[in-house]
C-alpha cells in the first residue's frame, strides 16, 4: 500500500468519525429540545388559553369581617371551618349552610367564624388548583376582599382537578372584583401566604381533619365524615352555649 493511499484511507476514517460525532451530537441536542418542548409547551398553551365567560358575584357584606374571619372575636362560641375551594361538598356547605350560620349566630354575636385553608384535593394532581385558589384568596384578603373572592371561587366551581382554575382565570377573578392588580399579581406570583396556608393545614391535621368541609365548634369536630347541616351546627352551638 502506497503512502498516498494510506493517507487517503486515514483521512476517510477521520471524516467518518467526525460525521458520526456530529450525528450523535445532533441526536443529543434533538432529544434535549424535545424534552424542553414537552415541559414548556403545555404550560404555554395553558397560559395562553382564553379565560372565557365566568360568573361575577355581587359582594355580600359579612358582619365584622376581618381577614378570613367574621363576627365578634370575643363571642362565646368559635367555629373553625376547614375547606378546599375545589371541594364539591364545600360548595354545598358554603352556599347553603354557611349563610344560615352567619344570619343566626354570627350576626347575633354568638359565634366568631373562621375560614381555615385546607387545600388537599390537588395533592396528586399537576394542576395545583386547590393550592393556587388558596393562594389567590389570601392575596384578595390582603385587600380586605377574602369573602368576595371566596364567593367568586364557589360561584365558578366546575369540578375537581378539571383544569378550570388556571392562574390566568384566578387572576381574572381578582380583576373582576376590582382589586389592585399590581398588588395582587405580586402577592400571587410570590405565593406570599404559603406559610399561613401551611399552618392551617398543619392545624387541621392536628385537629383530626380527614376531609372537607370539617367544621369545629369550640375545637370539637361535629358530624365527622359528612357535611354538617344547619341543624347540626345549631345543636352544637346551643350545647356550647349551655342551652
The domain locations on the chain are 1-48, 69-240
Min mean pLDDT across 12-16, 61-65, 195-199 is at 12-16
pLDDT tens profile 152-184: 999 999 999 999 999 999 999 999 999 999 999
Residue 222 predicted with pLDDT over 90: yes
Classify residue 220 by its DSSP letter.
E
Helix (H) or strand (E) segment spanning residue 80: strand 77-83
Is the CB of residue 132 less than 8 Å from the CB of residue 98? no
CA atoms within 13 A on the CB side of 43: 7
Arithmetic mean of pLDDT over the chain: 88
DSSP track, 100-127: HHIIIIITTTSEEEEEEE---TTTT-SS
CA gap 186, 135 in Å, rounded: 12
Mind listing the pLDDT tens digit for each residue in 26-49? 566 555 444 434 444 444 444 445
Examine the pLDDT at 223 and tell me if it is beyond 90. Answer: yes
Cα angle 140, 147, 134; round to 5: 55
**146 band by pLDDT with thresholds 50, 70 and 90:** very high
Domain 69-240: CATH class, spelled out: alpha beta
Per-residue confidence at 51, pLDDT binned at 50, 70, 90?
confident
Higher-pLDDT residue of 14, 148: 148
Distance of CA 19 to the CA centre of its chain: 52
Predicted confidence (pLDDT) at residue 68 exceeds the cutoff of 80 = yes
Above 70 in pLDDT, residue 19? no
pLDDT the model gives residue 126: 87
Q: What confidence score (pLDDT) does residue 130 get?
A: 98
**Average pLDDT, stretch 100-123?**
98
**For residues 108 and 240, is the Cβ–Cβ distance under 8 A?**
no
Q: What is the mean pLDDT of residues 196-204?
A: 98
Q: What is the pTM of this model?
A: 0.79
pLDDT score, position 41: 42
DSSP secondary structure letter of residue 165: S
Amino acid at each position: 500500500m502506497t503512502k498516498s493511499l494510506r493517507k487517503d484511507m486515514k483521512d476517510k476514517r477521520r471524516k467518518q468519525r467526525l460525521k458520526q460525532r456530529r450525528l450523535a451530537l445532533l441526536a443529543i441536542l434533538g432529544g434535549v429540545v424535545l424534552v424542553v418542548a414537552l415541559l414548556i409547551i403545555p404550560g404555554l398553551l395553558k397560559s395562553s388559553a382564553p379565560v372565557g365567560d365566568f360568573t361575577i358575584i355581587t359582594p355580600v357584606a359579612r358582619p365584622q369581617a376581618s381577614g378570613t374571619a367574621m363576627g365578634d372575636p370575643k363571642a362565646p362560641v368559635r367555629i373553625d371551618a376547614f375547606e378546599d375551594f375545589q371541594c364539591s361538598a364545600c360548595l354545598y356547605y358554603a352556599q347553603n349552610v354557611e349563610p344560615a350560620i352567619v344570619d343566626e349566630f354570627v350576626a347575633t354575636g354568638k359565634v366568631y367564624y373562621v375560614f381555615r385553608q385546607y387545600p388537599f384535593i390537588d395533592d396528586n394532581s399537576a394542576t395545583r388548583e386547590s393550592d393556587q385558589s388558596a393562594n389567590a384568596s389570601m392575596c384578595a384578603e390582603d385587600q380586605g376582599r377574602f369573602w368576595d373572592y371566596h364567593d367568586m371561587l364557589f360561584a365558578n366551581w366546575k369540578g375537581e382537578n378539571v383544569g378550570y382554575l388556571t392562574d390566568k382565570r384566578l387572576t381574572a377573578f381578582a380583576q373582576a372584583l376590582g382589586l389592585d392588580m399590581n398588588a395582587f399579581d405580586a402577592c400571587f406570583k410570590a405565593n406570599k401566604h404559603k406559610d399561613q396556608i401551611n399552618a392551617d393545614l398543619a392545624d387541621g391535621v392536628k385537629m383530626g381533619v380527614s376531609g372537607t368541609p370539617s367544621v369545629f365548634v369550640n375545637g370539637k369536630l361535629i358530624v365527622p365524615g359528612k357535611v354538617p347541616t344547619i341543624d347540626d351546627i345549631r345543636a352544637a352551638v346551643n350545647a356550647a352555649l349551655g342551652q
